[in-house]
Amino acid sequence: MAKTCYMPKFDIAIAGEINLDLILYGLPEQMPMERELLASGFTITLGSSSAILAHNLAALGSRVGFVAKVGGDSFGTLAMDCLRERGVDLAHVAHGAQSGVTLILPHGAQRHILTYPGTISELRFEDLDLEYLASARHFHMSSLFLQRQLLPHVPDLFRRMKASGLTTSLDTNDDPDDRWEGIEEILPHVDILLPNEREAKKIARADDLETALSQLAQKVPTVVVKMGASGAVAVRDGQRFSAPAVPVTVVDPVGAGDSFDAGFLHQFLLGADVTTCLAYGNLCGAFSTTDCGGTEAFRNPARMQEFLRQHGCSD
């Protein structure tokens, strides 16, 4: 599939999932049956790694095209409205029956994550407009293992995007089945891999991060590993880079990894070096934690720009 020589329509095209997050705060980690437990707080916000990434990239100023499948219900409408508000292009979103939803129960640095897949897992290869996706400079996928219908075709999808001249990135997120299969066929077509520390070890089937980094760096040109309060590390063409975390008062860590991806890819698309991409990723991840959910902080452009200025960055 040859790429026509014209100005790309988007900086980045994302194929993935979209749903709302329902977040209940203040519940105990161990919950007895047949007891009515009272939460101390509740938030409904845009969820899903792909949609959080799309929203926050657009908030930072990237031109974003987004393809997913959404239900024809109020949850789907609200999720789409959140993306439209930030200027994400939704012209090729497919429609299904019932939107997926995720219930999150935070417990400090850990959380319970309960998901009803709905349309999350129903996106098919036939739902994708490949010409639309190829009208970007870069292609990204998140939540690989939630894409049950699309997963068998993902290697071919990445191959086609690379053949069209796009750079590519992948954030697998967790595998609910804990099998981590099918990645080997995808990695040869991935330019940037963006796992967290646990995911990196799972993908590489390694017991420690250094072994995982070494193995993955032999398969992907740029491997970026998110380590929360320990910052982030990357290996590119055999060279190692790192950046410390940005200290903030954490309100909610939900979506911090996806916000890191947004910051890293935004700077990558601007042509920044790896160290700058890592630092900006950490900055965006930290900013995300200063409000509920993964996108609420980015819904306030003035507050976002002030936060960036305070830390020596501004668009």
Question: Within 13 A of 101's CA, how many CA atoms are on the CB side?
Answer: 14
pLDDT digits (tens, 9 = 90+) for 214-257: 999 999 999 999 999 999 999 999 999 999 999 999 999 999 99
Kindly report the CATH number assigned to the domain that includes residue 203. Answer: 3.40.1190.20
Q: Any residues with CB less than 8 A from the CB of 13 and at least 6 apart, and which?
A: 64, 65, 66, 67, 132, 133, 134, 135, 136, 138, 139, 140, 166
Residues 151-175, mean pLDDT to the nearest whole number: 97
Going 203 to 209 to 210 to 211, the CA torsion angle's sign is: negative
Residues 43-63, mean pLDDT to the nearest whole number: 97
Please state, in angstroms and as integers, the Cα–Cα distance from residue 231 to each residue in 31, 200, 314, following that order. Answer: 32, 15, 21
Domain that holds residue 296: 10-27+41-310
Distance CA 83, CA 201 (A): 32
User: Model's pTM, two decimal places?
Assistant: 0.94
Q: Residue 312: pLDDT band by 50, 70, 90 thresholds? A: confident
Radius of gyration of the chain (CA): 18
Residues 4-23, mean pLDDT to the nearest whole number: 87
Confidence check: pLDDT of 258 > 60: yes
Distance CA 284, CA 122 (A): 30
Residue 100: inside a domain = yes
pLDDT digits (tens, 9 = 90+) for 112-141: 999 999 999 999 999 999 999 999 999 999
Confidence check: pLDDT of 2 > 70: no
What is the number of structural domains in the chain? 1
Residue 2: inside a domain = no
Distance CA 266, CA 92 (A): 22
Q: Give residue 1's pLDDT.
A: 46
Residue 3: inside a domain = no
Written as six digits, the tokens of 281 are 């990723």
Residue 32: inside a domain = no
Distance CA 301, CA 307 (A): 10
pLDDT digits (tens, 9 = 90+) for 293-303: 999 999 999 99
Which of 126, 71, 131, 132 has its CA nearest to residue 101?
Answer: 71
Q: Give residue 4's pLDDT.
A: 45
**What percent of the chain has a predicted confidence (pLDDT) above 90?**
93
Residue 292: inside a domain = yes
Residue 270: inside a domain = yes
Q: Give residue 6's pLDDT.
A: 53
Residue 315: inside a domain = no
The mean pLDDT of the chain is 94
Residue 36: inside a domain = no
